[in-house]
Amino acid sequence: MTTTDQNNAERAKKIKIFLMDVDGVLTDGKMYYIPGKGKEMVEFKAFHSLDGIGLRLLNQFGIATGVITGRESPGTEERAKGLGMSYAYQGFLSKLDPLQRILSATGLKPENVAYMGDDWTDIPVLKKAGLACAPHNALDEVKGVSHLVTAKDGGMGAVRQVCDFILKSQGHWRTVMGYVESAHWPPIIKTPMKIVRYSKGGK
């Protein structure tokens, strides 16, 4: 393990919540539109199944999850609910306010937060997060302020790599492998989700 890996593992041990952007992180960043009723066009998103188990396992071990995104999408809300996320902030191009709200509500400190983003709007939160993460295809400026850059691109299992890193760093991996070997998975934890919408446009 390199010095950087060791430092990141120490950061990951303190994480109690994993927050993330959506487009370009949980998705590949592409916008898909299909005809809806009448002349209305409907946006939809594609999420990677690999991320799902990782995020659910974080919940299993008491680590909350949530999204902060500049866009509003019913698909994002549905995905967040399905994964047992605690927070879904949509329409927030400036993401420091949602972060501060979450810290105030939970009593957590920035060092307890992992955040993953890929674009300039994520940089202010990444600079505050205890574990700042970026997918492989994030902008260079974003990777430059991140502690951990995944080998996978956004929407292709990058979030899962962060989940696994946190689980390993906090000593949960043997238990996780026990689930795998026994094929006996714990029930999905249903977490009440705080949904906040604030339309300001954005990515």
Residue 121 lies in a domain: yes
The yes-or-no verdict on residue 190 having pLDDT over 90 is: no
Q: What is the pLDDT of residues 19-29, one digit of tens each?
A: 999 999 999 98
User: Which whole-number Å values give the CA distances from 2 to 7, 8, 9, 98, in the listed order?
Assistant: 9, 10, 10, 34
Identify whether 173 is part of a domain: yes
Span of 152-156, 163-167, 179-183 with lowest mean pLDDT = 179-183
Cα-based distances in Å from 37 to 32, 42, 43, 46:
16, 9, 13, 21
Residue 47 is predicted with a pLDDT of 92
Taking residues 36-59, report their average pLDDT.
87
Instruction: Answer yes or no: is 177 within a domain.
Output: yes
Residue 128 lies in a domain: yes
184 inside domain: yes
Residue 202 lies in a domain: no
Q: What would the pLDDT profile of 76-94 be if each residue is shown by its tens digit?
A: 999 999 999 999 999 998 9
Question: Considering its fold, how many domains does the chain have in total?
Answer: 1
Between 75 and 101, whose confidence is greater?
Answer: 101
Which residue did the predictor score with more confidence, 185 or 112? 112
pLDDT for res 200: 47
What residues make up the domain containing 56? 3-197
**Residue 87, domain member (yes or no):** yes
- Tell me, what CATH number does 36's domain have? 3.40.50.1000
Q: Tokens standing for 184?
A: 């006996």
Query: What is the spatial order of strands in the sheet that 17-20 belongs to?
Result: 148-149, 131-134, 113-116, 17-20, 64-69, 87-90, 194-197
Residue 203 included in any domain: no
pTM tops 0.95 = no
Looking up tokens 């994030």 gives 138
